[in-house]
């Protein structure tokens, strides 16, 4: 899996560029963990280039959400494709995440 990272306001934006599937999860986990430890704490995962999320990917995202909450940070999802939105909806996980149409909307939601 290829990843890029950038900053938007007080958030670190992580953009995976492939499906989030078993065998590809550790790179995303490491990137999010590093972002939370960097001092910025708030993380937006840009799903605009993610065509699919399997059960291992869903478990990873949920684990990252829990880890962020335990550390007093926030994790938001942005720009998910219709397929990824549907996967999150039918697994009843969509309501657990702050899901936003754009990175900008997600980052703005983090401003107190």
Q: What is residue 98's three-state secondary structure?
A: strand
Give the mean model confidence (pLDDT) for residues 32-52: 90
- C-alpha 46/C-alpha 72 separation (Å) is 21
| Residue 14 contacts residue 24 (beta carbons within 8 Å) | no
Task: Flag the least confident range among 4-8, 15-19, 94-98.
Answer: 94-98
Look at strands 3-8 and 11-16 and give their pairing: antiparallel
Which tens digits make up the pLDDT trace of 57-99? 999 999 999 999 999 999 999 999 999 999 999 999 998 987 8
> Domain spans of the chain?
3-107
Select 3-107's CATH number: 3.90.1150.10, 3.30.750.24, 3.40.50.1460, 3.30.230.30. Answer: 3.30.750.24
39 — pLDDT class (breaks 50, 70, 90):
confident
């Amino acid at each position: 899996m290829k990843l890029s990272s950038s900053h938007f306001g007080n958030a670190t934006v992580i953009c995976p560029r492939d499906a989030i599937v078993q065998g590809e999860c550790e790179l995303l986990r490491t990137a999010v963990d590093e972002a939370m430890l960097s001092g910025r704490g708030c993380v937006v995962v840009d799903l605009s280039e993610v065509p699919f999320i399997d059960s291992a990917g869903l478990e990873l995202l949920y684990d990252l959400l829990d880890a962020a909450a335990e550390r007093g940070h926030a994790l938001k999802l942005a720009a998910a494709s219709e397929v990824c939105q549907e996967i999150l909806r039918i697994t009843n996980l969509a309501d657990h995440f702050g899901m936003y149409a754009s990175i900008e909307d997600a980052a703005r939601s983090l401003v107190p």
